[in-house]
Structures are given as C-alpha cells and as structure tokens.
Amino acid sequence: MRVGFGYDVHRLVEDRKLMLGGVEIPFEKGLLGHSDADVLLHAISDAVLGAIAEGDIGKHFPDTDSRWKGANSLVLLKYVIDLAKQKGFEVNNIDSTIVCQRPKLAGFIPQMVENIANAVHIPKVRVNVKATTTEGLGFTGTGEGISAYAVVTVREW
Ligand code: MG
C-alpha cells in the first residue's frame, strides 16, 4: 500500500465556467487555468501521481502543450489512472476536501463522487469529497480562489 497527497489552487475570475469534480456548478465566476481548471480533479490527480512516484500534473500536462488547452480534467485523471495501472498500481480509496467560501457545494457532491469513481474505475463507496469554507479568512474566504486537498491510497496488483 502507498499513500499520495495532492494540493491545488486556482483563481476565480469572470467569464469562466466553474468546474469541480467534473460538475459544472452554476456561479457568476469560474476557475482560471490552461485546462478547465478543475481544482479538485487536479488535487486528486496529483495525489495519484504522488502515490506512484511520478512527479506532478505540471510534468505530465504542461501549460505549453496545446493538447491540454481547455481540457476536461476527467481526461487528465483517466490518463493518470492509466499510468498507475501501467506501473502495476490500482487506487484503493480517495479522500478530498474542496476549500470554497461560495457557492455552496453540498448538493453537487454526489455527482462529483460518481464522476470520480467512474474515471478511476472504483466503487463510489471508496471515494469521498468534502467541502469547507475558511470562515471568510484568506484567499479562499474572500472568494479570490478555490483550493483542494486530496489523499489517495494505491496498492500494487
Ligand atoms: Mg491545477
């Protein structure tokens, strides 16, 4: 068994869709980035790469590569899962936290869990997504951005 950790931040700006866990969330702003900037899926992807000692998503999906411009981050996550499989690992479970002041995310979490479980090819009971505010403190509290943390365990098969 191995453990991986992931963390990511994206800035909230106007005229962008807000994508979290592969779900488009209705909101007046969205996350800025080269891909769809899905901060939760990036943290999870980084955690998988961490567990299998394959660097980070910046190494695998550089900003300079036009293939990933506007990319659906579920595609990035699937790529990382395929890489893990090639190296002889499968994901055991995923836990994650989105740090977001607004909008409220609770109603969207079941769909995020479903999207992640499908991309990773594991049952939904092995995927957890939490959301928290920072009580108005810091860059997430002021709504400048959204961050996400993820921990993943993988096992050799
Ligand atoms: Mg990112």
Compute the distance from residue 139 Cα to the ligand 1 centre, in Å: 16
- The pLDDT, as a whole number, for residue 24 is 98
Look at residue 102 in the predicted model and tell me its pLDDT: 97
Which residue type, as a one-letter code, is found at position 7? Y
Which stretches of the chain score pLDDT less than 70?
Answer: none
C-beta of residue 35 within 8 angstroms of C-beta of residue 68: yes
Q: How far is CA 81 from CA 45, 53, 54, 88, 114, in A?
A: 8, 13, 12, 11, 16
C-alpha of residue 27 to centroid of ligand 1, in Å: 19
CA of residue 31 to ligand 1 center, whole Å:
9
Residues 87, 82: Cα–Cα separation, whole Å: 9
Distance 135 CA to ligand 1 centre (A): 23
| Distance from the alpha carbon of residue 18 to the mean position of ligand 1, in angstroms | 13
pTM over 0.75: yes
The pLDDT assigned to 69 comes to: 86
